[in-house]
């Protein structure tokens, strides 16, 4: 069973841990990583969760995601999850999150990379991932409206697609 480190609201690691399935203690947060892989056509590689998943079965989501396990650094977690879930080995030493979003019990660190891939060459983790495909921003928004894609906050998809070609907050 996965063991996770816990953090305070200021992203400081606490001397506390929890296990997958446990309730996150009050005033504590866990780390989650998400990766959005875009191709040169500005389409995002999305993955479909298996039908037997406890949360959001059959929903489509970002390319890969998962929890950071205890004593693991965030960059290693995103590399591990990407390799496990979609069979892609990312060895980018400059990998760092584009955005960190603070939710009720988690810090979501969202990574983005641009890479042209033939998805036929990727090996999905059949216990977690049902399918993968490339999707445009409009296709993803339509999937959200049809309740087929994770119900992210309005604007998240627009923000990610707007940032793939330019990093930072200032429009240059």
Mean pLDDT of 12-36: 96
Q: Is residue 125 part of a domain?
A: yes
Q: What is the pLDDT of residue 96?
A: 80
Beta bridge partners of 29: 7
Mean pLDDT of 51-66: 93
Q: Is residue 169 part of a domain?
A: no
CATH number of domain containing 50:
3.90.79.10
- For 75, 104, 112, 151, 152, the CA distances from 47, given in Å and listed in that order, are 20, 24, 15, 14, 15
Average pLDDT, the chain: 93
- Cβ neighbors of 56 (< 8 A, separation 6 or more) are 49, 150
Q: Is residue 111 part of a domain?
A: yes
pLDDT tens-place string over residues 71-118 = 999 999 999 999 999 999 998 767 888 899 999 999 999 999 999 999
Q: What is the pLDDT of residue 91?
A: 83
Domain that holds residue 65: 3-163
Give the whole-angstrom CA distance, residue 108 versus residue 157. 15
- Asked whether the predicted pLDDT for residue 172 surpasses 70, the reply is no
Sign of the Cα torsion 25, 28, 29, 30 reads negative
Number of domains the chain is built from: 1
Structure tokens at 110: 């969202």
Q: What is the pLDDT of residue 166?
A: 76
Q: Is residue 60 part of a domain?
A: yes
Q: Is residue 61 part of a domain?
A: yes
Q: What is the pLDDT of residue 49?
A: 96
Q: Is residue 172 part of a domain?
A: no
Mean pLDDT of 10-31: 95
The confidence band for 51, taking pLDDT boundaries of 50, 70 and 90, is: very high
Q: Is residue 171 part of a domain?
A: no
Q: What is the pLDDT of residue 129?
A: 96
Q: Is residue 152 part of a domain?
A: yes
Q: What is the pLDDT of residue 93?
A: 65
Structure tokens at 27: 């005033």
């Amino acid at each position: 069973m996965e063991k996770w480190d816990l953090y305070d609201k200021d992203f400081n690691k606490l001397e506390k841990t929890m296990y997958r399935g446990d309730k996150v203690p009050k005033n504590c947060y866990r780390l989650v990583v998400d990766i959005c892989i875009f191709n040169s056509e500005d389409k995002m590689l999305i993955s479909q969760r298996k039908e037997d998943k406890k949360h959001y079965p059959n929903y489509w989501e970002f390319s890969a995601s998962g929890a950071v396990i205890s004593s693991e650094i965030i960059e290693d977690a995103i590399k591990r999850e990407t390799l496990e879930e979609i069979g892609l080995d990312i060895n980018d030493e400059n990998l760092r999150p584009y955005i960190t979003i603070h939710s009720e019990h988690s810090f979501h660190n969202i990574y983005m990379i641009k890479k042209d891939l033939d998805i036929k060459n990727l090996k999905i983790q059949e216990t977690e991932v049902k399918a993968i495909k490339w999707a445009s921003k409009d296709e993803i928004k339509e999937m959200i409206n049809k309740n087929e894609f994770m119900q992210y906050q309005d604007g998240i998809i627009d923000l990610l697609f707007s940032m793939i070609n330019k990093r930072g907050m200032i429009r240059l």
